[in-house]
Amino acid sequence: MIQPMQHLWAPWRMEFIKAPKPSGCFFCEAAAADPSNDATHLVLARAELTLVILNRYPYNNGHLMVAPNAHLADLEDLPAGTANELTALTQRSLRVLREVLAPQGFNLGINAGKVAGAGVADHVHQHVVPRWEGDTNFMPVVAQAKVLNESLTKSYRELRAGFDRLA
C-alpha cells in the first residue's frame, strides 16, 4: 500500500530564501557591535580577539562558529595570539555544548575558500557542530530537508547561559 505523501513545513526558511543577501560581513558586524546587542547578532561569547556566534542557518541544533574579530580570509594569516585564542574559544565551546546539549560527538572544521564550501570565504571561521547518534536520517537525502528540533531563540538562550556559567 502506498503511503500518502507527508509534508514538512519550515516557514522560517522562506525568510532566508527571499531575503536580500547582506553586502557586509556579519562576523565583522557582530565583532564591532556593542555587546548589549549580542542577542541580535547571536553572539554567545566574546574574547579579546575572537567571538562565538550561533549559526543562523545551522546544520544541526547548537551549530556554532568561532571567528576572529579581524577580517582575515585564511587561517595562516591569523597572528599567533588570535589563532591560540580561536583554539581556546573552540575548546570552551565544546565544554559548553557538552554541558548544555549533551551531544555524543562533534564535527569541527574550517571551509577554506568558496570552492571548499565556505559560505563566508573572506572571513575565516571554525564550525563546531554537535552530533547525536541517529541525528542523520533519510530527510536530507530524499527530501533535501534537515529537521532541526529546537528554535534558534531557545538554543541561543540556553547556550548563552552555558557560556556565561563556564566563563
Q: Please identify which of the residues 41, 63, 123, 125 carries the catalytic annotation.
A: 125
Distances (CA, A) of 104 to 23, 132, 143: 37, 5, 25
- Pair type for strands 43-46 and 50-54: antiparallel
Q: In this predicted structure, what is the pLDDT of residue 3?
A: 65
What is the structure's pLDDT at 137? Answer: 52
The pLDDT, as a whole number, for residue 148 is: 67
Contact 146, 126 (CB under 8 A): no
In the block, cell 560581513 appears at: 25
Answer yes or no: 41 catalytic: no
Instruction: Show the cell assigned to 13.
Output: 526558511
Sheet arrangement for strand 50-54: 43-46, 50-54, 64-68, 126-131, 105-109
What is residue 11's predicted lDDT score, i.e. its pLDDT? 60
| Whole-number pLDDT of residue 119 | 83
Domain range list for the chain: 24-162
**Triad 63, 155, 91: Cα angle to 5°:** 45
How confident is the model at residue 49, as a pLDDT? 98
Instruction: Give residue 158's pLDDT.
Output: 93
Instruction: Give the pLDDT score at 13.
Output: 60
CB count within 10 Å of CB 38 equals: 18
Residue 43 near residue 52, CB atoms below 8 Å: yes
Q: What is the CATH number of domain 24-162?
A: 3.30.428.10
* Cα distance between residue 3 and residue 80, in whole Å: 57
Helix (H) / strand (E) containing 45: strand 43-46
Residue 167 confidence (pLDDT)? 82
Rounded to 5°, the CA angle 160-83-88 comes to 40
Spatial separation of the C-alpha atoms in residues 94 and 145, rounded to whole Å: 26
* pLDDT lower than 70: segments of the chain: 1-17, 21-22, 136-149
- Quote the distance between the C-alpha of residue 7 and its chain's center: 27
